[in-house]
Amino acid sequence: MKAGRLLTPFISPAKGIVDVPGSKSFTNRALICAGLADGTSVIENFLMADDTEAMIAALEDLGVLVIADENGGSLQVTGLSGPPAISDISINARLSGTTSRFIVPAVAVGRGKFTISGEAPLMRRPFHDQIVALRSLGANISELGEAGCLPLKVDANGLEGGTIHVSGEKSSQFASGILMAAPLMKNGLTLHLEGAVVSRPYIELTLDVMRRFGAEISNPADGTYVVSPTGYQPAEYYVEPDASAASYMFAAAAITGGTVRVNGLSRSSKQGDIKFVDVLEDIGATVHSGDTFLEVSGGPLSGGKFDLKDFSDTAQTLAAVAAFASAPIEIEGIGFIKAKETDRIEAMATELERCGVSVNRSQNGMVINPNQWALRSAQVETYDDHRMAMSMSLLSLRVSGIEILDPECVDKTFPKFFEVLESLRDNNDFFSGTTPVIAIDGPAGAGKSTIAKLLAEHLGVPHFDTGAMYRAVTLACLDAGLDVENVQAVALLAKKIEIRVGSRVQIDGVDVSERIRGIEVGQNVSAVAANSLVRTILVERQRRWAIESGGGVMEGRDIGTAVFPDAALKIFLTATVDVRAKRRFDEKSDQSLEQVKKEILSRDETDSSRQDSPLRIAANAVIVDTSNSTIGRTVELLGMLFRSEVIQ
C-alpha cells in the first residue's frame, strides 16, 4: 500500500506572497548549454529537484564539472568545450523526459559509445521522432528494447549537420534537444518543424537560452530555424521562477477566493505556462501583473472552452480548478499529453471521478462537468506523476478527506510543494471580522441536525436548528388549516407565533419536537422555506440568537450564504442521493425507499432553484461528504477545522 498524505481543507481564503522554484525548463536547457560550453558558467536560482538532478548526474557522467555554492543558490558548471568524447558509458536519465531527450542529441554529436536508459515509466515514453531525425543526420542509434523507446545505444562519431524535418505534433522536446546540439555540428543545422506544433513556446524558450550561451540562430520562416556551428560560450544565467509550479498557487487563489502573489514572474515571461493566468482571468479571477510579480485573486468561477496546446503542463491544474466552476470547462488541444509521465487525460479524468467530478474524455482533451454537491473524499492515485499529485491536491483546499498517495513524487520538479501550499493557509485572523458561528448547510439527509447538535456538545457551544423553525411554521400552518402556498397568510402566522428552539422545540409554549418531524410537515416545509417573507422574519430571529448567545453552531440551507455570510467557519455537508434516501427511509417505515428517494430529489430541486436564498455552497465553505463516514468521525473533523488544527 502506497503511503499517503491526508490534506486539511482551508477554512479561509488562500493568502500570501510566495517564491516558487526556478524553472525546470530553463534549468535543464541552461545546464546542457553550459555543459557543452568552453569555460565555466554560473547558473543562479536553478531548480534542484529530481529532474534537474538527473540532468546534472548525466552531465557529470560525461565529464562536466558541476559545483553548487555553499548556500545552494547557484551552480558553477565547467563545460566540455565541445561535444562529449568517451569510449563507453551508460547514462540513467531516471524519470526525466527533458534529460533523456536533450542528452541523446548531445552525445550523438560527440564521439564514443553511449547508452541512455531510465526508470520504467520513462522507458515507455516515445522517442521515435527524435530517433528518426537524428538518423537522417547520420547518427548511429540502436534501440535496445521496444522500438521507438529507451534504452538507446548511440555509437557516435560526430555529426556533419545539414537540413532536417522534425514533427512538432508530439513533443517540443524532440526539436529542442536537436536544436541545442546543433551549434556543435560541423556545418550547423537547418531545422524545419512540421505539422501542428505543440508547446511552441518551449521552442522559443530553448532558442532564448541557446542565444544567452552564444549560439547564433535565425528564423527565416515560420517553423524554420537555422543554427550556425558556433559552439557555446560560458555565461552567467539567472533561472526564472517556474510558471508551471506557480500555476498551482494561482489556482489556490482562484478556488478559495483568496489572493496569492508569486514573485519573479510577469506576463512578459517566455514560459508558455504563464498563459494560465489568462485562462483564470477568463473564468472569473482577477490578475495583477507587475515587472517582478504576478498576483491572482479569486472570484466566482464560470465555464469556458480553452486550447492548452501551447501550455499543456497546466491542463491538470485547470481540470482541478474546473471542479469548482459554475459551468463546464472544456480543455482541448492536449491529446499529446497521453504520452507524458502517464496518460494524463485518462489519469486526471479517473481521479476526478473518484472525487465525484463528472468528466467526458476525448482523444484531444476532456470536459469537466462540475457539481460541487457531488464532491467527496477519496484516496487519489498519482501514477508516478508529479503533476497529478500537485493538481489533485488543489481539491483538498475545499473538500475534506482528500488523501494524495505517493506524495513524494512532487520531488520531480517541486520538492517543497506541500510546504509552499500550506504557507497560504491564513489562520492568523480567523475570528477577526467574523461572526462566531459555525454555519452548516447541506441538502436533506446529509446529517446536518445530528452532526450540528453533537458538534455543539463537542465544542461546548450553543446549537440552533434553523430547520426546526421552518418546520414549526409549517406545522402551525397545517394545524390552522392554512395553504402553505398562501405567501401572505403564512408570513402573518410566522410573525405572530413564538418559536423556541433548543433541546426541544416549542410553539407558543407547546412542545412540538416530535410533531415537526412528521411526514406531512416534511412534504410541505420546502414551500414555507421558499417564502421570502417568512425567511425575512426568521432570519432576523436567527441573527438575534447569535448575538444573544454569543455564537454557536447553526445549521440549515442558507446559513453560510444568506444568514451568516461572515461566519467563522462554513461547512457544506453532503452525501450521495442513495445514502441520504436510505437515512430518511430508516426514519420513515411507512414509505418505500424509492418513494423517499423521489422525495429527496424533489426537495433538492426545490431547495436549489427557489428564488430566495437557494441552497448553494458558500464561498470558502469546506465540502464534507458524509456518505462513508461515521457521525463521530465527522464531528471530530469539524472540531479540528474549527480549532484550526492541520492534519499531519
Where are the domains positioned within the chain?
A: 4-20+241-422, 24-238, 433-462+553-587+614-648, 463-549
Average pLDDT, the chain: 93
Q: Is the pLDDT of residue 431 over 50?
A: no
Q: Which residues contact 12 (CB under 8 A, 6 or more apart)?
A: 256, 258, 425, 426, 427, 429, 430, 620
- In terms of Cα–Cα distance, which of 541, 531, 476 is closest to 509? 476
Specify the fold of 4-20+241-422.
UDP-n-acetylglucosamine1-carboxyvinyl-transferase; Chain (3.65.10)
Peptide bond into 183 cis (omega under 30): no
Kindly state the average pLDDT of the residues 61-66.
97
Antiparallel, parallel or unpaired: β 463-465 and 499-501: unpaired
Kindly state the average pLDDT of the residues 108-113.
97
Return the higher-pLDDT residue of 544 and 67. Answer: 67
Task: List, for residues 499-549, the tens digit of each pLDDT value.
Answer: 988 788 999 999 999 999 898 998 899 899 889 999 899 999 999 888 888
- CA dist 413 and 327 (Å) reads 32
- Residue 556 belongs to what H/E stretch? strand 552-556
Return the higher-pLDDT residue of 549 and 626. Answer: 626
Kindly state the average pLDDT of the residues 483-494.
95
Check: CB of residue 446 under 8 Å from CB of residue 373.
Answer: no
**What percentage of the chain carries pLDDT values higher than 90?**
80
**CATH code assigned to 433-462+553-587+614-648:** 3.40.50.300
Would you call 508 a catalytic residue per the annotation? no
Q: How many CB atoms lie within 10 A of CB 325?
A: 22
Q: Is the pLDDT of residue 198 over 50?
A: yes
Kindly state the average pLDDT of the residues 270-294.
96
Q: Do the domains at 433-462+553-587+614-648 and 463-549 have one common CATH topology?
A: yes
Q: Which of 313, 426, 441, 607 is catalytic?
A: 313
Kindly state the average pLDDT of the residues 117-121.
94
Task: List, for residues 358-377, the tens digit of each pLDDT value.
Answer: 999 999 999 999 999 999 99
Task: List, for residues 585-619, the tens digit of each pLDDT value.
Answer: 887 667 889 998 998 999 898 888 878 788 999 98
- CA dist 235 and 214 (Å) reads 8
Check: CB of residue 250 under 8 Å from CB of residue 288.
Answer: no
Which residues share a beta bridge with 402? 378
Return the higher-pLDDT residue of 93 and 535. Answer: 93
Max mean pLDDT range (168-177, 237-246, 501-510, 540-549): 237-246
How high is the pLDDT of residue 433? Answer: 58
Specify the fold of 463-549.
Rossmann fold (3.40.50)
How high is the pLDDT of residue 70? Answer: 67
Q: Is the pLDDT of residue 642 over 80?
A: yes
The CATH classification of domain 24-238, taken from the options 2.40.30.40, 3.30.420.40, 3.65.10.10, 3.30.70.20: 3.65.10.10
